[in-house]
């Protein structure tokens, strides 16, 4: 990938209060031109081969990972080396060696580095977004939101690092000077998902390194190109070799070996419940040479519900449901997968929702439609299988098919009504453009349905009754609850993100507690 001039030195002395990165307005001609130019630039780089990066050294492997464009699977986005068990020790040794120096750099130095990364991504944000358009099928707005969140994580964690640097014991005993320090953990394994391949991948990595840890980064096999572009930015910003090691590889061999390694200090993972629980189990078992309890930072699935009451603003709720359910083809752990409608508005709402969903445009994300493909063929087949179950268990309102005449993995936005609580589509995470609709007798019944899954990530309630909204705050058991708005689009700082129950360890990414997960507190008392 092309290099640019080294980013300027950034001092934390001039640090301004944190402010979220604004969304790009693509209706402005200059922004549309910039995005098209970035897409053309990235298109010219598709199909290249990229090395592993371990301790700053490049290497190739006999096995490869091919990243494909889900809108045009015949188009290779990039070819990547596939790390195996033989790469575990070299990666661990490189990360451990780098930890010796990196862990002793100051919080300020590390914060300044992360701010430099934020500056560089901001300068190249259209290019960063363009990689996501090609590799995972995000349209322009979804890709830009991912990029903006990446910048936000970098800036926010730099601010948080400086806050932790000034931490002190809250009580000073007479005759003592008492201290509280937050120190790094060690070598972390970062295993990000493909659906937020910029923000979550970079967020977990930057939280790790700003806290003084070193990282073995194992990106998803569906999105290694975006991770490699990010690593190239770290290199441009002069990150010391070995602090972040770029190692795409299979989860069942390379990933499991990393998690089980006695020198692994923590695992930061975002993905499915099944894989998250497996990581938790493997990490919990002490192996020879292991002297600590491994920490797991797990963000897993969701079966998120929006409740719409009879007293709600119907048109606003229809829009919120449609965007929450079908943004990025429903491939968000926060997506609205269940719609719980009060029986009094059930038919009217479905009519309006059907009309709204049928306005959604599908196509190649390069052309910026409302919705693009799902990420790969396996995902498409799984989603179509769920739709077939839904046809038997409920009533198809709209959609229900693979889009004909397109090369890619396009599935129509699908709404299936009249589903019963505890049915397959009401309980299982589909991770695609499929919305299950359930009828509720009243608000008690709606809350009961909303809480009846093993997940607890996001949820929303539309109601004009403040008492109902207050009750939702108390009784709707999710990590991120939204009132009279959509259930997707968590903003760094405003909506620290993480869920309850089988949705994970409630890590609250983008919040004031997050860096505590990547550090350990050391108390010191000195007699005067």
3-state secondary structure (DSSP) of residue 176 = strand
Candidate list 112, 127, 149, 299, residue with the active-site label: 299
Using DSSP, state whether 166 is helix, strand or coil.
coil
Nearest to 210 by CA among 191, 236, 182: 182
Residue 369 structure tokens = 């439609």
Q: Is 299 a catalytic residue?
A: yes
Q: Are 466 and 447 in contact (CB under 8 A)?
A: no
User: Do residues 149 and 198 make contact, with C-beta atoms less than 8 angstroms apart?
Assistant: yes
Integer CA distances (angstroms), 371 to 32, 37, 217, 219, 366, in order: 18, 21, 29, 24, 11
SS3 242: coil
DSSP string for residues in 361-418: -BS-GGG--SB---S-HHHHHHHHHHHHHHHHHSEEEE--SBPTT-SS--B--EEEES
CB 256 within 8 A of CB 221: no
Cα-based distances in Å from 459 to 38, 145, 321, 356, 491: 35, 20, 11, 21, 15
Which among 237, 247, 333, 487 is annotated as catalytic?
333
Q: Indicate if 49 belongs to the active site.
A: no
Instruction: Using alpha carbons only, give the angle 402, 403, 408 rounded to the nearest 5 degrees.
Output: 90
What residues act catalytically?
A: 299, 333
């Amino acid at each position: 990938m092309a290099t640019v001039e080294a980013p300027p030195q950034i001092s934390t002395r001039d640090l301004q209060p944190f402010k979220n990165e604004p969304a790009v307005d693509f209706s402005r001609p200059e922004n549309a031109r910039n995005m098209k130019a970035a897409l053309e630039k990235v298109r010219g780089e598709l199909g290249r081969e990229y090395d592993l990066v371990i301790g700053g050294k490049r290497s190739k492997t006999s096995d490869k990972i091919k990243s494909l464009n889900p809108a045009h699977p015949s188009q290779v986005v990039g070819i990547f080396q596939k790390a195996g068990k033989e790469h575990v020790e070299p990666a661990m040794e490189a990360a451990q060696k780098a930890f010796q120096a990196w862990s002793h750099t100051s919080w300020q130095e590390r914060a300044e580095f992360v701010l430099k990364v934020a500056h560089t991504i901001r300068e190249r944000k259209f290019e960063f977004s363009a990689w996501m358009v090609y590799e995972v099928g995000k349209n322009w707005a979804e890709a830009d939101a991912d990029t903006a969140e990446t910048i936000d994580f970098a800036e926010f964690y730099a601010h948080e690092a400086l806050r932790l640097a000034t931490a002190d014991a809250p009580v000073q005993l007479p005759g003592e000077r008492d201290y509280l320090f937050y120190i790094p953990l060690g070598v972390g394994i970062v295993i990000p998902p493909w659906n937020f391949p910029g923000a979550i991948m970079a967020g977990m990595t930057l939280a790790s390194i700003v806290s003084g840890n070193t990282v073995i980064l194992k990106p998803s096999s569906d999105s290694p190109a975006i991770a490699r572009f990010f690593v190239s930015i770290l290199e441009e910003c002069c990150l010391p070799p070995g602090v972040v090691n770029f190692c795409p590889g299979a989860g069942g061999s390379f990933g499991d070996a990393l998690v089980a390694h006695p020198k692994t200090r923590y695992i930061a993972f975002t993905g499915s419940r099944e894989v998250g629980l497996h990581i938790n189990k493997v990490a919990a078992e002490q192996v020879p040479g292991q002297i600590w309890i491994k920490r797991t930072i797990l963000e897993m699935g969701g079966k998120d519900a929006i409740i719409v009451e009879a007293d709600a603003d119907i048109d606003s709720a229809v829009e919120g449901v449609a965007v929450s359910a079908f943004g990025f083809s429903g491939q968000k752990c926060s997506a609205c997968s269940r719609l719980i409608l009060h029986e009094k508005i059930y038919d009217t709402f479905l009519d309006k929702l059907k009309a709204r969903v049928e306005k959604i445009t599908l196509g190649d994300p390069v052309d910026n439609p409302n919705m693009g493909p799902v990420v790969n063929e396996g995902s498409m087949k799984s989603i179509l299988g769920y739709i077939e179950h839904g046809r038997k268990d409920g009533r198809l309102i709209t959609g229900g098919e693979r889009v004909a005449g397109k090369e890619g993995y396009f599935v129509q936005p699908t709404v299936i009504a009249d589903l019963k609580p505890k049915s397959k589509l009401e309980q299982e995470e589909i991770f695609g453009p499929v919305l299950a609709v359930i009828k509720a007798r009243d608000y008690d019944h709606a809350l009961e349905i909303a809480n009846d899954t093993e997940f607890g990530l996001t949820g929303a309630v539309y109601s004009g009754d403040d008492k109902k909204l207050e009750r939702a705050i108390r009784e709707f058991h999710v990590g991120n609850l939204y009132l009279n708005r959509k259930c997707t689009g968590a903003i760094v700082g405003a909506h620290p993100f993480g869920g309850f129950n089988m949705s994970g360890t409630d890590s609250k990414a983008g919040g004031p507690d997050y860096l505590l997960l990547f550090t350990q507190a050391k108390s010191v008392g000195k007699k005067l």
